[in-house]
Amino acid sequence: MNRHTLVATIPQAFVKLDPRHLFRSPVIFVVWVGSLCTTVLSVLHPSTFAISITVWLWITVLFANYAEAVAEGRGKAQAATLRKARKETVARRLLPDGSTETVAGSGLRIGDRVIVEAGEVIPGDGDVVDGVATVDESAITGESAPVIRESGGDRCAVTGGTTVLSDRIVVQVATKPGETFLDRMISLVEGASRQKTPNEIALNILLVVLTLIFLVTVMAIQPLAAYSGREQSIIVLVALLVCLIPTTIGALLSAIGIAGMDRLVQHNVLAMSGRSVEAAGDVSTLLLDKTGTITLGNRHATEIVTVGRATNTELAHAAYLASLADGTPEGRSIVDLTRTHLSDQDAVSAERLTAEGAQFIDFSAATRMSGVDLPSGVQIRKGATTSVSQWVLEGGARVPAALQQVVDHIGQSGGTPLVVARRDGDGPTVVLGVVHLKDVVKQGMRKRFRELRAMGIRTVMITGDNPLTAAAIAKEAGVDDFLAEATPEDKMALIKKEQEGGRLVAMMGDGTNDAPALAQADVGVAMNTGTSAAKEAGNMVDLDSDPTKLIEVVAIGKQLLITRGALTTFSIANDVAKYFAIIPAMFLAVFPGLNSINVMRLHSPQSAMLSAVIFNALIIVALIPLALKGVRYRPVGAGAMLRRNLLIYGLGGVIAPFVGIKLIDLFISHLPGLG
């Protein structure tokens, strides 16, 4: 964070002195109340000690506010950059009769269709329903390279505020004005929508309980002190209370949570809630959709393989007919491939057949087939081997034995086989052959999955492909397990089964059929390239659409939990050391036996008390960088991590006050009124 931002957040520390804000942090609110009391007493009975204690108590509150303001400042700086990307646009809304009207982008509603051409800004979040174009998404992702967005498939989602660089697309709006992805991102990174997580709430309750315990303890000291003839002033009791309650973690708790969300944004991941960030730190199973997540997703038809007595022309003609209305990238690639096997006359004849009342059957996750029913009674289907084979059997025909050999060969090579079959009205049903779709595993996947395994996370690839194809891709990518021929119901069942075992599950996907699973998972990470439905269902969105980004997400989640635990340990250990500094100084004159625990040998009771209060304030500022950056996470076992943190932050929390308070005491001991 630059110096200008650090200075710019100082006024916010004073603004946050508002008791309505401080009341949300009970520990710091107690310090604020104590500061008010000592201020009044300092005015009524001024002394060097009273004024010094009062000043440093107010500084403690300001430092706590400053820690939160600095964390929020980083988010607000990012939000300001995003606001520059948000532009008020004029949209060309498509009317039912095919004409267009010009409207303001803020006037669009869900379901409206708008035309966006090269050089124009996309007016709102939605899905491409017609056309293909290159889009500049640098305002959102920070990447200067343009991306392809096209109708059909899982790369149809577009974000409002991005710019079309080439061609023309029709976008169907999927969000209301003011609720776009960019609007939500701005709100989240500046902290406006951050809610306390369950762990944070539990820790707050613990801090409140500790504060109440110390409050009762300090109140009980006065009667004992009066009985022993060493009655203490209210200022001393307030200072003692502030030094004993966990002010360090109380001051930094909010900053830790804000910084955790901010670190995710720096990795181009948008978390919809702090709960999901914490859950990511405890994830033990990761489910990944294959197409578009592990693989590049743009599968292309590379060859057609006939079965039985079918000819290349017959197979190409049937696949061409069945794919003419298929707007997915795979469908278009089949059209392009099969067109090369047909004469111009055959292609024209096929197009004429589809124009004469043909009924196209869209692909669905349930049937896992698509095709066309021609007016002549001919039915053509293409799809997964098991689904098409079942369709053939229902037609009273046999599935050729050679089909399985072709399918196995394609599957073993890592490709996806699409079986094509034809039913001639009341005539026979025949399997014509297989279209070979080739998919490519994204670069570096094996190494990244190895890192996940080292973190104790089991990876499972989910795909609609047959088991052989799935096994080949799983082996190439390096995942631990796979679920083949999966339907949305299968994905949900697998997640629930994992969760029943007490494990937290993360799901990564990009398609509409992934949405139910993303919503069920403890951590649902949607690819930014995916559909609007997937992004709405997930509780995180990866702007880079990198499936292995979960490594960073898990590391940040673990880092958030570790940082909170480490600083809590440090804060409580601090209290132990401050007890040894203050209590002997308060009662040594009355109870000489306390000299045995007066290991610090401070100058005087007043200097001891003031030194402890000053250290209490300064340690907050010293720990702000650690709260914002986070404790370094290493993929080691929980036992080793606990021992390391206890050694560094537990033992360190005990030693630091002894050293710090003694040095401060040596520095202030010459001040008048502290003798």
For 609, 663, 674, the CA distances from 669, given in Å and listed in that order, are 11, 10, 7
Specify whether 282 is catalytic.
Answer: no
Contacts of 523 (CB under 8 A, 6+ apart): 276, 279, 280, 283, 504, 505, 506, 507, 539, 540, 550, 553
369 in a labelled binding site: yes
Query: Does residue 480 sit in helix, strand or coil?
Result: coil
Residue 192 has pLDDT above 50, yes or no: no
Which tokens hold the place of 570? 């440090």
Whether the pTM exceeds 0.85: the reply is: no
Which tokens hold the place of 41? 């007493």
Taking residue 231's Cβ as centre, other Cβ atoms within 10 Å add up to 12
Write out pLDDT tens, residues 82-116: 565 555 677 888 888 888 888 887 778 888 898 88
326 in a labelled binding site: yes
Q: Domains of the chain (ranges plus CATH)?
A: 3-78+188-264+554-650 (no CATH), 90-123+125-174 (2.70.150.10), 269-294+442-543 (3.40.50.1000), 296-440 (3.40.1110.10)
Identify the active-site residue in 154, 183, 262, 289: 289
Write out pLDDT tens, residues 346-361: 777 777 776 677 888 8
Contacts of 215 (CB under 8 A, 6+ apart): 30, 241, 245
Contacts of 363 (CB under 8 A, 6+ apart): 326, 328, 369, 370, 383
**Residues recorded for the chain:** 675
Write out pLDDT tens, residues 257-280: 777 777 877 777 877 766 778 788
364 in a labelled binding site: yes
H/E stretch holding 377 reads none
For 583, 634, 673, the CA distances from 641, given in Å and listed in that order, are 34, 8, 47
Q: What is the DSSP letter of 511?
A: S
Which tokens hold the place of 408? 């196995």
Write out pLDDT tens, residues 278-330: 788 888 888 887 766 677 766 778 889 999 888 888 899 888 888 887 777 77
* Spatial separation of the C-alpha atoms in residues 121 and 143, rounded to whole Å: 17
Contacts of 78 (CB under 8 A, 6+ apart): 189, 190, 262, 265
Residue 81 has pLDDT above 70, yes or no: no
Query: Does residue 654 sit in helix, strand or coil?
Result: helix
The answer for 160, left when phi > 0, alpha when psi is -120 to 50, beta otherwise, is beta
Write out pLDDT tens, residues 453-473: 877 888 888 887 778 778 888
Crossing angle for the helix pair 234-244 and 198-227, to the nearest 10 degrees: 150
SS (H, E, C) 195-222: CCCHHHHHHHHHHHHHHHHHHHHHHHHH
User: In 3D, which of 628, 642, 624, 553 has the Cα closest to residue 278?
Assistant: 553
586 in a labelled binding site: no
336 in a labelled binding site: no
Quickly state the pLDDT bin for 13 (edges 50, 70, 90): confident
Distance of CA 211 to the CA centre of its chain: 33
Are 601 and 571 within 8 A, CB to CB?
Answer: no
Largest CA distance in the chain: 113
Which residue is it, tokens 């899982």? 154
Query: Does residue 329 sit in helix, strand or coil?
Result: helix
490 in a labelled binding site: no
* Spatial separation of the C-alpha atoms in residues 245 and 459, rounded to whole Å: 44
Are 269 and 549 within 8 A, CB to CB?
Answer: yes
Residue 190 has pLDDT above 70, yes or no: no
368 in a labelled binding site: yes
662 in a labelled binding site: no
Spell out the alpha helix ranges (H) of 142-197.
181-189
Q: What is the DSSP letter of 368?
A: -
* Spatial separation of the C-alpha atoms in residues 29 and 64, rounded to whole Å: 10
User: In 3D, which of 472, 492, 154 has the Cα closest to residue 482?
Assistant: 472
Residue type, 376: S
Which tokens hold the place of 281? 């730190």
Write out pLDDT tens, residues 127-183: 888 888 888 876 666 555 577 788 876 677 787 778 888 788 898 888 777 666 666
